[in-house]
Amino acid sequence: MVKRMLSLSVPALLVLLWPALLDGRRVHVIERDLTEPHRMVGELLQPGGYLKLVDLGLEDCLEDIDAQRVVGYTLYKKNGEHIMLSYPLEKFQAADMSGRCFHNGRFVQKMREKAATLPNVRLEQGTVTSLIEEKGTVKGVNYKTKDGRELSAYAPLTIVCDGCFSNLRRSLCNLKMDIPSTYVGLILKDCQLPYANHGVLVMSDPSPVTFYPVSSTEVRCLVLIAGQNVPSIANGEMVNYLTNVVAPQVPSELRDALITAISEENNIRTMQFRSMPATCSTIPGSLLIGDAFNMRHPLSAGGMTVALSDIVVLRHLLKPLTDFNDANAVSKYLQRFYTLRKPLASTINILAGVTYQVFSPSLDPSRKEIREVFYGYLRVGGIFTNGAIGLLAGLNPRPLSLPFHFIAVAVYTFGRLLLPFPTPKGILRAATLLYVACGMIFPIIKAEGIKHMFFPAIFPA
């Protein structure tokens, strides 16, 4: 009976971490670099993601890394007007329930340390160069070790989780990737956010700016730049842009710290972000997960929540399997994964896409007005505000909640433009906004798969 699995990165190991210990499965993890990574991605774990971490029994990986509790966001206009948006956490009984912000590298190292304690897990540094395929079935991988040796590793199931820059993705699925924007990242030191345990999102022009704490003494600033025309760091264009365009629009409490951070040498970093709908991997003997499989715009910080949710789904699917020798049968069984993951994953993916569409720069006055409508809707309060923030936080994995809020926003828009007395101009304006909003939202829903989202009962689960 074969119980060996091959995983291509430590995040994928979460799938099998505790089941491997309990069921005796052997896992070989090949990670490109085992030193602590320093990157400005995966630094915010939404409350829904924290619940998944608890479900996996891995919440202690957040200990001793100076992780910061986050219970909501403050949404600012560039004129200083703002609203506080707190996560609806009242109904959840999990200990210390909240979101978490941290240095991603510290979190990854804690997971590696935990993995190293398991006797049936082999953790190895190496660069995977290709998949080994025989008669249409993945049998393992070819990889190069740290000291340059070229080796092969074999297993009846290979889990590919090599991130957004995956070099194996093309072998397993059709590539349909979009690169909508670039994030410019800085670290602000020894400054306080306007409201404790609340991140900051600034509706600045031409695009938004985000602040959240990554340690007790550091705040991450992310400046979104849409498109491919990113100011150069080398010739000083970026410093000029951040100083003269971005800094004047951020809250006064953060402005001096931001200007100081801009002037610090080697403190400005950039990273392109990619968006890619989930595509089924149909090659037996393999499974594609994580950012190699599905990406959404990071403005809503939902990536880690989706990844952990996928891992929980996959863990339950893998647990009853005792024999992986019949690759075709296992592959057919694991097709259920693509349906079972849809409720939470699609909800967050669509919300991320819509949020980016709302906040991205545009010369269309209708798009700018939709941004104002969005801000006004979040001020309504009650089930409208809490419902929208619950979706953002990954606490409401119900795709049907999206049409509810879409209709509610439409009603709010019509009321905003037609009250107290409807006029032909107001009716035309409201219809135009509704048309533009549909053009923003429906392509995202279509890419996620309407049938899988709203009619999952017709698919095997």
**For residue 84, is pLDDT > 70?**
yes
Rounded CA gap, 114 and 99, in Å? 22
User: What average pLDDT score do residues 43-49 get?
Assistant: 94
User: What average pLDDT score do residues 99-122 get?
Assistant: 89
Greater confidence (317 vs 64) lies with 64
The pLDDT > 70 percentage for the chain reads: 92
Rounded CA gap, 328 and 283, in Å? 9
**For residue 262, is pLDDT > 60?**
yes
Residue length, the chain?
461
Instruction: Return the pLDDT at 198.
Output: 95
Rounded CA gap, 351 and 225, in Å? 19
Peptide bond into 180 cis (omega under 30): no
Greater confidence (449 vs 82) lies with 82
**Which spans in 5-78 are helix H?**
10-13, 17-23, 47-55
Q: Give the model confidence (pLDDT) of 388-424 as tens digits.
A: 999 989 998 877 788 888 888 888 888 888 888 888 8
Instruction: Return the pLDDT at 24.
Output: 64
**Band (213; pLDDT cuts 50, 70, 90):** very high
Instruction: Return the pLDDT at 421.
Output: 81
Cβ neighbours of 140 (radius 10 Å) = 22
User: What average pLDDT score do residues 4-31 get?
Assistant: 64
Instruction: Return the pLDDT at 94.
Output: 63
The pLDDT > 90 percentage for the chain reads: 37
Instruction: Return the pLDDT at 452.
Output: 67
Q: Give the model confidence (pLDDT) of 346-392 as tens digits.
A: 889 888 888 888 888 777 888 888 888 889 999 988 889 999 999 98
| 336 burial level (CB within 10 Å; 0-12, 13-18, 19+) | middle
Q: Which of 4-18, 314-328, 415-429, 441-455 has the lowest mean pLDDT?
A: 4-18
Instruction: Return the pLDDT at 14.
Output: 54
Instruction: Return the pLDDT at 261.
Output: 96
Instruction: Return the pLDDT at 361.
Output: 75
**Which spans in 217-335 are helix H?**
237-241, 252-263, 303-318, 327-334
User: What average pLDDT score do residues 46-72 get?
Assistant: 93
User: What average pLDDT score do residues 276-281 get?
Assistant: 78
Question: Model pTM?
Answer: 0.90
Cβ–Cβ under 8 Å, residues 198 and 71: yes
HSE on the CB side for 327, CA within 13 Å? 20
Instruction: Return the pLDDT at 429.
Output: 87
Q: Give the model confidence (pLDDT) of 66-75 as tens digits.
A: 999 999 999 9
User: What average pLDDT score do residues 8-29 get?
Assistant: 62
Rounded CA gap, 107 and 74, in Å? 25
Instruction: Return the pLDDT at 2.
Output: 46
Greater confidence (452 vs 197) lies with 197
* 3-class state of residue 451 by DSSP: helix
